[in-house]
Structure 1
Amino acid sequence: MSDFSNTTLTMTRQFNVEPERVFDAWLNPEIMSKWFFTLENTNKVTQNNPEVGGTWEIVDHREGMDYRAIGEYLEIDPPKKIVFTFKMPQFSELEDTITVELKKIQEGCEMTFTHVIHTPHEENWTEADIERALRAKHDDTEQGWNYMFMGLKELAETGNNSYKG
């Protein structure tokens, strides 16, 4: 048995703007600092080098703690697709993979988001334990992205993010 298992989260969202606007929100550090694993009032660091092989980093300060998220870009195809790794080193050295696909639709664009989530196993876990952990990680991750996507939608469509976490 391996030391981790995977689950895949896929979400679809529609935006009333052109795909370029949503694409930019994923890569522009000024916009990222307002929604991507952070909020404007809790963001400490937003660094981004949006090119294949380039890295990104977000540090968010919440409840007296810093949360650091990092990754590397694997594919960038403006304004259609971004593929990157995601890791929070303070919790795990496992790297997830995230794919963002955008397509133009009649009333704006549709984003298909796919997150391959790696979940580490603990010693002596049974198959049932692994399934419970995967389900919990999937559901927690989905809830987090739902909140982030509310901010992303508002930012892309209005330029503002009133969501405060």
Structure 2
Amino acid sequence: MNKFSTTTLTMTRNFDVASERVFDAWLNPEMMRKWFFTLEGTNKVAQSNPHVGGAWEIIDQRYGTEYRAIGEYLEIDPLKKLVFTFKMPQFSDLEDTITVELKERQAACEMTFSQHIVVPHEKNWTKDDIENAIKESHEGSEDGWNLMFMGLKELVETGKVSYTG
């Protein structure tokens, strides 16, 4: 097994709905297929077995290529906290851990998202190579989540996502 580094991405978002609606969007396959690593128009599979030890899976197809994301639920505290693993097996056997925490705010909620990202090293990498890989993983994850969270906000606040891919 190659060596690896880790980095943590933390993001906060506010939604003009109760935390129940946001929490449901992370676990309900019909909602997941509209924003979570996929879009309704490109989604092939959206499955969720939302209990501790249960699995989730998303398969998205874009430009003729299937992208599969899978994970296991580690902690589920309804309407407050969700912890799960995230892995894309076609790219790596390494797993990230994602934590979603929700706090009620007057007629709204605040979501704090954290992703513990595992960054694999390649053989003969220098310290600079490792630092660049960590930076690229962090920035790439942040860019991806920013786009997904725009879809999540639209979905929970309006019931649909206008971008279809």
Question: 2:28 maps to which residue?
Answer: 28
Deviations along 1:46-94, one digit per CA (max 9) or x if unpaired, are: 1110000000000000111000000000000010000000000000000
Question: 1:71 maps to which residue?
Answer: 71
Question: 1:110 maps to which residue?
Answer: 110
Percent identity over the alignment is: 71
Instruction: Name stretches of at least 5 consecutive residues in structure 2 with no aligned partner.
Output: none
Alignment partners' CA distance in 2, 1:55 and 1:3:
27
Instruction: Name stretches of at least 5 consecutive residues in structure 1 with no aligned partner.
Output: none
SS of 1:52's equivalent in the other structure is coil
Question: 2:52 maps to which residue?
Answer: 52
Alignment partners' CA distance in 1, 2:127 and 2:96:
21
4+ residue runs of structure 1 moved beyond 4 angstroms? Answer: none
Alignment partners' CA distance in 1, 2:132 and 2:164:
30
Task: Give the superposition deviation at 1:107.
Answer: 4.2
- Scaled by the length of structure 2, the TM-score of the pair is 0.98
Deviations along 1:12-32, one digit per CA (max 9) or x if unpaired, are: 000000000000000000000
Question: 1:3 maps to which residue?
Answer: 3
Give the paired residue count.
164
Question: 2:131 maps to which residue?
Answer: 131
Question: 2:15 maps to which residue?
Answer: 15
Deviations along 1:118-153, one digit per CA (max 9) or x if unpaired, are: 011000001111000000010000000000000000
> What's the RMSD between the two structures over aligned residues?
0.8
Whichever residue aligns with residue 106 of structure 1, its letter is Q
Question: 1:158 maps to which residue?
Answer: 158
Alignment partners' CA distance in 1, 2:120 and 2:152:
29
SS of 1:157's equivalent in the other structure is helix
Alignment partners' CA distance in 1, 2:92 and 2:148:
21
